Structure 1
């Protein structure tokens, strides 16, 4: 359970860091691309050494690391577009409700335990994600002409979580978690370089502020992935891990928003917090 708590903590810190990006006027795209190389180096340090090229090439999980790295950078852009075109609440709900995909995969592929209490808890978790994410008294509104964006975000986020579970279970050996995580981020950084080249052609260059922001973001970003893999590696079912991880992140992020940024909650948010606590208890116990 300690790995799951650490995963929730580091995932929540990412949202806080993004909020500070807004406060300090950081170029978010540049910082995120730089964060990938920082996360990669952090993984090598956690691994204890820089791996030999042969060790990486011969690894059973190499293809999945390349796939996930590409998906990381792609889904970041989809998340940004969804936030801009459909609104932040739509992006948050689409991303977090994707927990249903790895949960269903856990039931189907790994024959994980299932019961009415767990099913009810998962349904409550989905409800709580919506209730705590909406920041307006109005109903959640979709731009129907751009409905494809939240759909891609929903599916892509679910595919990332499901793939992490599959690779952890079938390809990543004990002790290889840091190296696997590092290579995922290395792939994302290599692809991010192409974006930086395009940015340079548009006269948008890297700054010291972006470099510092990338370092601050990269370390907790690495550990958010590392801790979730460790959680799965220690035998917890994915149908338990992902609902608690997603709901716990929403809860802790909301708490940090209140404490650090004096954010105001509407009645829906308070109801969502109560529902979230009930969902976590039902799923965990």
Structure 2
């Protein structure tokens, strides 16, 4: 339970940092690239078992890390496009409701339990995610459904693959180096995109973006590490853990937005937080 709680706290920290990115006009792509480099370095420095970088491709989880690294960068851009085309509320809802994907595959692939109480808890949790995330925007954007659907599928695929690779290929002592490797791969893809953007429009990297990336990299690394460690705990089924993790992040992020950034807290949001707590309790009991 402690690893799950730490994963939620560090994931919420990412939300806070991204908020400040907007305030201080940080170039998100550049900061994301630096963040991946920092997380990659931490993964190898804190690894329990040392593996030469030149031999990483021989590890049974390398192909999975390759796919996840590419997905990390791809979903980042899908999130950006969804926010631009459909609005922030739709982006938040599509990203968090993607929890149904790993929950579904957890039940199918790992024969996890399906009880009435668990189903009710998950349904309540999904409703809570929607109510907690929706904002009363003055000019609600009505864009194409393509990007929200891609975000929903992509975010759910990342969680599902993470669970599958962790279960079948990642030894307990390799969690850090596996995480570092997928961040390194993500950094490689982000670097290619940066090169393409630089060719189109030359501009300095900026010390501000480097500092922002370093600040982001530390909690990003630990959010993944603690989530994987939580998945290794047999006390929780993955369908239960992903539901609790996503909904808890929504609750804590909503409260942080209210207290730290003075965001407007509508009646829907209040009902959403209350239902989220109920959903977590039901899923945990089940």
TM-score class normalised by the smaller sequence: over 0.9
Q: Is the CA contact (8 Å cut-off) linking 1:90 and 1:140 kept in structure 2?
A: no
CA-based RMSD of the aligned residues comes to 1.5
Q: Which runs of 4+ in 1 moved over 3 A?
A: 137-142
Q: CA deviation at 1:259?
A: 1.8
CA distance, structure 1, for counterparts of residue 50 and residue 14 of structure 2: 26
Which deviates more from structure 2 when the two are superposed, residues 26-35 or residues 76-85? 26-35
Q: Is the CA contact (8 Å cut-off) linking 2:48 and 2:174 kept in structure 1?
A: no
Partner of 2:93: 93
Which deviates more from structure 2 when the two are superposed, residues 15-24 or residues 193-202? 193-202
Give runs of aligned pairs for residues 151-170 of structure 1, distance below 5 A: 151-170=149-168
Give runs of aligned pairs for residues 101-250 of structure 1, distance below 5 A: 101-136=101-136, 142-143=142-143, 146-201=144-199, 202-235=201-234, 236-250=236-250
Partner of 1:273: 273
Q: Is the CA contact (8 Å cut-off) linking 2:48 and 2:173 kept in structure 1?
A: no
Give CA deviations for 1:144-165 in whole Å, capped at 9, x if unaligned: xx21110000000010000001
Q: CA deviation at 1:137?
A: 6.8
Give CA deviations for 1:100-146 in whole Å, capped at 9, x if unaligned: 01001011110111101100000011101100101117897642xx2
Gaps of 5+ in 2: none
Give CA deviations for 1:39-66 in whole Å, capped at 9, x if unaligned: 1111112215763135412210000000
Partner of 2:15: 15
CA distance, structure 2, for counterparts of residue 141 and residue 115 of structure 1: 38
Which deviates more from structure 2 when the two are superposed, residues 33-42 or residues 269-278? 33-42
Q: Is the CA contact (8 Å cut-off) linking 1:98 and 1:154 kept in structure 2?
A: yes
CA distance, structure 2, for counterparts of residue 139 and residue 109 of structure 1: 42
Which deviates more from structure 2 when the two are superposed, residues 43-52 or residues 184-193? 43-52
DSSP-derived class of the 2:98 partner? helix
TM-score by length of 2: 0.95
Gaps of 5+ in 1: none
DSSP-derived class of the 1:234 partner? coil
CA distance, structure 1, for counterparts of residue 67 and residue 6 of structure 2: 25
Q: Is the CA contact (8 Å cut-off) linking 1:137 and 1:266 kept in structure 2?
A: no
Which deviates more from structure 2 when the two are superposed, residues 45-54 or residues 241-250? 45-54
